[in-house]
Amino acid sequence: MSIEKFDINSTVRIMLNQNLEMLYSNVSRDMANSYLEKLAVLENLKDKSMQYCNDGYYVIIDKLVLSGQPYYLIIIIIKNDCSSCTKALKDDVTGLFNRHFLNQIMKDKIPCLKTSYSSLIMADIDNLKEINDMLGHLEGDKAIQIVGDAIRKCIRKEDIAVRYGGDEFIILLPNIKKETAKKVILRIKKEIENITKEQNINIGISAGIACNNSLLNIEEMIKIADKDLYKEKKIKKSKEKSNNEKLNRLFREIEQLKSELNTKVIQDSGGINAEETLKISKKLDELIVKYIKDKK
């Protein structure tokens, strides 16, 4: 059967194991084997991911390590439709996998993605809207890129990180339990803090965790992690409200002391009581310092 006769209106996706056995294909096995042969895919399997063009097609080969075993994900696209090449596998802002990968690969229930237990982290950026509104959408994209870089640096090769949409990220951690997943989140937050200090931009993230025991599917885990994420957001909002009330009380104390100090200076204009004025001034300084520290 000739490859030219195949209908390739949609992206072709093929998964091979380390023995080059086909685990999955969204086209027939015969058709998939014809693509592999015609486009010299097997000859181009390397230790690293790669992309190349062949006979009017665009081929993306990505090597994955899942549960300690290597697998090959092959994406084949019409060459003259390269506008969709990056969309087939990776997010163009972060370089992480995109939602298309999550939906099309994980929902197809690839056997190698199943482990006896795993954890899923869902995270989003707390203040992306504020960054977009105050600094513009280019800075918003920069914030998303920083979070993506931090995630990539803090996970293993066999972990799967996805930009789920907008400012939302999903990380699938095979053979990782909840306590270890919590440590991964802490590492990511610390890495973001380190990057943002260097680049002078304020970025915060919230994250939730879901764990399975081979009974939950990815969709159920996402729902559980999403609820866990919003618990953290709720706690943060409560703390923020409490801090704002505390800051407002401090500010009122400062204003009251300033007024008291000004009144004292006016009343003692004939002979200022330096000791009392200094005492009020010192207390005012202490409150201002406290206000600044609490505001950070």
Q: Catalytic amino acids?
A: 167
**Cβ atoms of residues 125 and 205 within 8 Å:** yes
- Tell me the C-alpha to C-alpha distance, in Å, between residue 246 and each of 234, 254, 290: 18, 12, 11
* 181 burial type by CB count under 10 A (0-12 exposed, 13-18 middle, 19+ buried): buried
> Taking a C-beta distance cutoff of 8 angstroms, is the pair 212, 117 a contact?
yes
Distances (CA, A) of 40 to 58, 74, 149, 182: 12, 12, 33, 43
CA distance 91 to 242: 38
Integer Cα distance of 15 and 8 in angstroms = 17
